[in-house]
Chain A
Amino acid sequence: MTPRFRPVERPDPAILDDHRALLRAIDRRRLLRGGLSLGALTMLTGCDVRRPDAVQSALLTLRDMNDAVQAWLFDPRKLAPTYPASQVLKPPKFNAYYDVTKVKPVDAAGWRLELSGLVADRRPWTLSQLTTLPQRDMIIKHICVEGWSYIGEWSGIPLGSFLRRVGADLKAKYVAFRTADDYPSSIDMATALHPQTLLALDYAGKTLADPFGFPLRLRMATKLGYKNPKWITAIEVTNRYPSGYWEDRGYSWFAGI
């Protein structure tokens, strides 16, 4: 069980940080410039395309333009296919940026779900408080950016109904997560409100096991696997782009499927 979702060679985060400011906010001028970059990309066959900053920055600009296209393609009413219980993989696949032996279990008694940002009621939640909320079950396909997939059965609190309950600003752009394993992540509000986006507590009818995010993790039917943080400790509703662990390493932020 070695985690495969990990680069052989860590990229230098400084490369990305250098360009981050440039990359956000997609406007028309950026679109034009991106179009030119796409043209420029075609001229680069003769030189070393592995390093130059210009290429990296053009690629990241296009990645962010693609995120805008992805957001446009996302249909908030479209439901992902669901599957019969007989196809559920037990236990689910473990995946993280570290090995399964490095998982640090979370103590349920001391655990709290903190809320911050554009939320009316920011009182933290205990696990027993959370389990009193209405839950929903879904058997969906987990698709990893690497290409593998499996069918899993998740139950938990629909994130949309939780956000409404705590009086979150549903017009805000982002819902961000912090986790016990230092894996920051964030999603768009449209996906947060999708009916197949759950704050999952159970897998296949049983409480989540430690390697899969006990006590609380995110499960979305409409995004790639890496967008689903485990061991969630805090939720923030915000209009400031929060990024995420893999996004800082070049992956698409929207990552819709």
Chain B
Amino acid sequence: MVAKVDMSRPRRGRKLHPLPIRIMHWLNAVAMIVMITSGWGIYDDDAVIKGFYFPDVLRLGEWASPSLNYHFAGMWLLALNGLVYLGYGFATGRLRERLLPIRLRDVVHTVRDTLHLHLAHEDLTTYNAVQKILYIVAILAGIAQVVTGIAIWKPVQFSGLVSLLGGFQFARVLHFTGMSVLVGFLLVHVALAFLVPQTLWAMLSGGPRLRRGSADRSADVAP
């Protein structure tokens, strides 16, 4: 396997973020912003948390009708782009390569380093354990949003799913919770991207070339 890769790419390893990943990343960024801000417009007509509303300026759509139309347009981009991303991630092995394994020891190390404010980020090509967990949480939350979204979009056609989710109103609460998780992820993700701007640049240009076989090495070699 390694030999085959070496023959097809004899000199240079592939980039950290290949072009399809970059395209899907930014399409997803747009889809998420559309879904979240239009969702806030829909939310405000019947608040899940009594008395809590999203301000006008943060909402996509002047009132519920355009917000709903944005939401049901954005859902296709989010779901289709997400499906292609997951398909690509599984087919190329990227998901496993980037996000696994997560070792408890590494998590403890990363948290300790973070608390001591000397988190290493010179090497963009390997994610630390906390990063891996955050990305996995974001992917799972995205999938959950699609599932709870389908449930509250079509509670009669998918009535089995709705009762599995604890009823229509609870499915709404879950959809709201999933949004909150994703917004929390986005805040951390965007803040860190600006703190370490080379990561932002890498998601535009593709980033550094991976050393050949580096992915396998990180998975197989015990420290």
The distance in angstroms between the C-alpha atoms of A8 and B41, with both chains bound, is 12
> Is A250 an interface position by the 8 A CB rule?
yes
Tell me whether A170 is interfacial, beta carbon within 8 Å. no
- Among B60-68, B93-101, B110-118, B194-202, which stretch is in contact with chain A? B60-68
Contact with A along B59-88 (1 / 0, CB 8 A): 010111110111011101100000000000
A53 at interface, CB cutoff 8 A:
no
Question: Would you give the shortest CB distance from B135 to chain A, in whole angstroms?
Answer: 22
Question: Residue of A at shortest CB range from B33?
Answer: A45
CA distance A214 to B19 in the complex (A): 62
The interface centre, meaning the residue of B31, B46, B69 with most chain A CB atoms within 10 A of its CB, is B69
B43, B48, B72, B74: most-surrounded residue (chain A CB, <10 A):
B72
- The main secondary structure of chain B at its interface with chain A is helix
Q: Which residue of B lies closest to A147 (CB)?
A: B46
Q: List 5 A-B contacts (CB under 8 A).
A: A62-B76, A146-B45, A147-B43, A147-B172, A257-B155
A residues 167-215 in Cβ contact with B at 8 Å: none
Q: Considering the chains assembled together, what is the distance between the CA atoms of A73 and B48 in angstroms? A: 27
In the complex, what residues of A have CB within 8 A of residue B48's CB?
A: 147
Given contacts A41-B73, A63-B72, A251-B65, contact A257 B46 (CB under 8 A): no
Q: Tell me how many residues of B have a C-beta within 8 Å of chain A.
A: 35
Interface size in chain A (residues, C-beta < 8 A): 42
Give Cα A141 to B152, complex, Å. 13
Asked whether any CB of chain A lies closer than 8 Å to the CB of B168, the reply is: yes
Give the Cβ gap from A73 to chain B, nearest Cβ, in Å. 5
Query: Measured between alpha carbons, how far is A29 from B212 in the docked complex, in Å?
Result: 46
- At the interface, yes or no: B154 with Cβ under 8 Å from chain A? yes
| Given A66-B72, A81-B159, A143-B168, residue A4 in contact with residue B46 (CB < 8 A) | yes
Given contacts A4-B45, A38-B77, contact A250 B69 (CB under 8 A): yes
CB closest residue in chain A, given B175: A147
Q: Check if B62 sits within 8 Å of A11, measured CB to CB.
A: yes
**B63 pairs with A11, CB closer than 8 A:** yes
A128 at the interface (CB under 8 A from B): no
Name the B residues within 8 Å of A41 (CB-CB): 34, 73-74, 77
Contact of B46 among A50, A75, A146, A252 (CB under 8 A): A146
Q: Are A9 and B156 in contact (CB under 8 A)?
A: no
Could you mark each residue 159-190 of chain B with 1 if its beta carbon is under 8 Å from any beta carbon of chain A, else 0? 10001000011001000000000000000000
- Do A143 and B155 touch across chains, with their CB atoms under 8 A apart? yes
* A129 in the interface (beta carbon within 8 A): no
Cβ-defined contact, A59 with B157, below 8 A: no
CB atoms of A147 and B45 under 8 A apart: yes
Q: Please, which residues of chain B bring their CB within 8 A of the CB of A146?
A: 45-46, 64
Q: How many angstroms between the C-alpha atoms of A148 and B46 in the bound complex?
A: 7
Q: Is A249 an interface residue (CB 8 A)?
A: yes
